[in-house]
Amino acid sequence: MRNPLRPIAVFVAVGLSAASAQAADGLKAWPSSHSVAQTMDRLQRIVSEKGLKVFARIDHAAGAASVGQTLRPTELLIFGNPQGGTPIMQCAQSFAIDLPLKALAWQDADGRVWLGTNDLAAQAARHDANDCAAVGKVGNAAASLLEAAAAP
């Protein structure tokens, strides 16, 4: 089975000059200098300090362990606020299915840790909201939060 996240690793490995790697499937991801748990702790702290609400933090590896299965460290953070999300939903109410924002930290098969999120521009295309200014504003803000959490 093809690893859908492999393009991210290849993109970064070849040293392209971009702050983030972006897979064709609309996922943006940054390599993290920390463990999955530390990366998510950092992101949760940063999100809270910026006044955003953390709705949930899900440890998928713990969920797998609870049913006798294994999964490399994988955690999801769901966060946001109405000030950012409402203008996006005003552009396209169907965008609500993709909000609040989500960030995923995972350890790949080579032991590297990644922090990723959905590319809001790709989601805007899905919801026919390409001209929505709020998408770029929220997307850029979210990227800054994730970059900070993944940084050394």
Is 43 a residue whose pLDDT tops 70? yes
Fold of 6-150: TATA-Binding Protein (3.30.310)
Q: What is the reported pLDDT for 25?
A: 85
Backbone angle region of 147, left / alpha / beta, with phi > 0 → left and psi within -120 to 50 → alpha: alpha
The secondary element (H helix, E strand) that includes residue 114 is: strand 113-118
**Phi, psi at residue 82, to the nearest 5°?**
-65, -25
By C-alpha distance, which of 112, 117, 129 is closest to 35?
Answer: 112
Q: What average pLDDT does the structure give for the chain? A: 88
| pTM of this structure | 0.84
Domain range annotation of the chain: 6-150
Who contacts 49 (Cβ-Cβ below 8 Å, separation ≥6)? Answer: none
The model's pLDDT over 56-90, given as tens digits with 9 standing for 90+, comes to: 999 999 999 999 999 999 999 999 999 999 999 99
Strands 27-32 and 74-80: unpaired
Higher per-residue pLDDT: 1 or 101: 101
**Phi, psi at residue 29, to the nearest 5°?**
-145, 150
Please, which pLDDT band fits residue 21 given cuts at 50, 70 and 90? Answer: low
**CB atoms near residue 98 (< 10 Å):** 19
